[in-house]
Structure 1
């Protein structure tokens, strides 16, 4: 809820989900992007990552499909879920396609079959979607919208990585088709649709969520919002476990810390605002250095311009004539 010109306006369900999960989303995004380069260099790590995320997507898609097809599903529940039941965005099959293209680099790199985090995610989604099936709206919004937005950046990174490897191996210009068929991008591709068609599909999902929220009771809406936070927590749990599986924890923790420090805004506390010296200490060091360098450069520039103006004969003459008048 927010106020505008004295009037209270209700946020749409999608916007409210984005609002309450903003910090969780930002943190998870930084963590995933810091690990992506490691996954692109290590087929086993990438395969493990795909496996973990495939459980997340296939679990809620299976629950959604089950409720839609089950004759005993209450009519109102079915009506809610039908608005977001869009087979074109389902990802279970695309995960399978991508997983087939990634395999361990050697026989020693055995793939992990089952883990505590994966089991927890599977059990949580089964329980939550059985008891409160309308929370599937949270999964549809958070996980599908992620593919339409940030997922496209990951897709581009995967394609660039595959192209570089192919180009270095063949010492030739890589054809455009090779970029489109790079291993691991099926997840981010929607049945060969163009960018415009993908945007239309995204809008269809967004409209479906708006229509579905009209059928929710206040209690059900609150449950969807709460589960939205759980979606990010479940995803974070999977990513944290991947660090242990792939043995990358020390490296990615340093990378994540550096990325977080450089991207997260610094907000001075009330105490800091009362003291100029303490507030400066809270600023990012790089920003302070940039400010100081900028100030020095401007000072030199102003001083140089003043020097030119004073030392210029024409300027001096104009100054004397001005004083004479």
Structure 2
């Protein structure tokens, strides 16, 4: 009995800690798959923001889907819905075939779950409005044209990922916590580092002819920024404090649901990487060899060295040309965007 009492007195790990522990291996594997692609969205491999824009568009559907579903669950005046400009309230439904998925949106969550989700997201946390603002700025599209573009999926795995989100949330709305933890903590924990990398090329690289006088954190890169003097630290603290409410609210089975959904998120993100690798025929070992080649300006001596220098120059030029092809650029930067998320996740 004493041993049983001792076990009972041991503090239980928080839900967020359990998520981190359960996803550590998947997290590491996803990071291994995609970190090699980070540099492709900025110079010297990218000569303009089109690569980043394409990647952002590719990954935007995940944020738009789970945040749109979240907003549908909440009153229109809920704190989490008033934090940012309207996203596209019908987006998640526009992308659903009601005949193929007739069971969607038929199981309302419990009042306790609604109350918890209503208060989980502090003002300024939701990202969909900022993502759409960034896409509009970087693409130069009219808002209506942007909505039309967002009403179709860029690839099959993206469509499957979003369909999975809708089904999971319909049956178990509490799994939205897994998306909140994975994606919001990614922006919080590593967003400053990612933002720092993206702004290195300077305003000239990101200039799209619109809002040219605005700072980059509000012109194309607002996803990675937060309003206020604390750059999101206050929002992060409030979010984590509110998340502690899940410890008393959810049953052991519901906690497992959230943890398993977080594991699935990593697997589906890895699936996006594999899909893009298949589309591109990406050879990661070849990319490593190209990266290890001497710089273009490297001075060599002797015939063998000169030959190697020429080969290096040709390889670098071939790589640059390959990445400038539209079909390659579109998919590659999607990987870059995923890489951003992966690196951010590692920072929790």
Give the TM-score normalised by the residue count of structure 2: 0.60
Q: State the match for 1:250 in structure 2.
A: 283
Deviation per CA, 1:8-61, whole angstroms, max 9, x where unpaired? 331100111111111222333344432221022164432231122211111111
Matched, 1:54 2:60: yes
User: Residue 201 and residue 116 in structure 1: after superposition, are their counterparts in 2 closer, same or farther (change >3 A)?
Assistant: same
**Once superposed, what is the RMSD of the aligned Cα atoms?**
3.6
Deviation per CA, 1:196-234, whole angstroms, max 9, x where unpaired? 351110011111111123200111011111001111122
After TM superposition, list the pairs within 5 Å mapping 1:116-131 onto structure 2. 116-131=156-171
Unaligned runs of 5+ in 1: 105-109, 168-175, 260-325
User: Residue 24 and residue 254 in structure 1: after superposition, are their counterparts in 2 closer, same or farther (change >3 A)?
Assistant: farther
Task: Kindly indicate whether structure 1 or structure 2 has the higher relative contact order, using CA contacts under 8 Å at least 6 residues apart.
Answer: 2
Match of 2:117 among 45, 70, 81: 81
Bigger helix fraction: 1
Q: State the match for 1:137 in structure 2.
A: 177
Instruction: Find the structure with the greater CA-based Rg.
Output: 1
Give the distance between the partners of 2:286 and 2:183, measured in 1 at CA: 24
Q: State the match for 1:29 in structure 2.
A: 31
Matched, 1:90 2:126: yes
Give the distance between the partners of 1:35 and 1:80, measured in 2 at CA: 38
Deviation per CA, 1:37-88, whole angstroms, max 9, x where unpaired? 1022164432231122211111111111111239964212212312323341
After TM superposition, list the pairs within 5 Å mapping 1:1-325 onto structure 2. 8-40=10-42, 41=46, 43-69=49-75, 73-103=109-139, 113-163=153-203, 165=205, 178=215, 180-181=217-218, 183-190=219-226, 192-194=227-229, 196-243=230-277, 247=280, 249-250=282-283, 254-255=287-288
Give the distance between the partners of 1:138 and 1:45, measured in 2 at CA: 29
User: Residue 25 and residue 69 in structure 1: after superposition, are their counterparts in 2 closer, same or farther (change >3 A)?
Assistant: same
How many residue pairs end up in the alignment? 239
Give the distance between the partners of 1:213 and 1:117, measured in 2 at CA: 33
Partners of 1:98 and 1:184 within 8 A in 2: yes
Deviation per CA, 1:254-290, whole angstroms, max 9, x where unpaired? 449x99xxxxxxxxxxxxxxxxxxxxxxxxxxxxxxx
Give the distance between the partners of 1:44 and 1:211, measured in 2 at CA: 42
Give the distance between the partners of 1:244 and 1:103, measured in 2 at CA: 27
Give the TM-score normalised by the residue count of structure 1: 0.63
User: Residue 165 and residue 64 in structure 1: after superposition, are their counterparts in 2 closer, same or farther (change >3 A)?
Assistant: closer
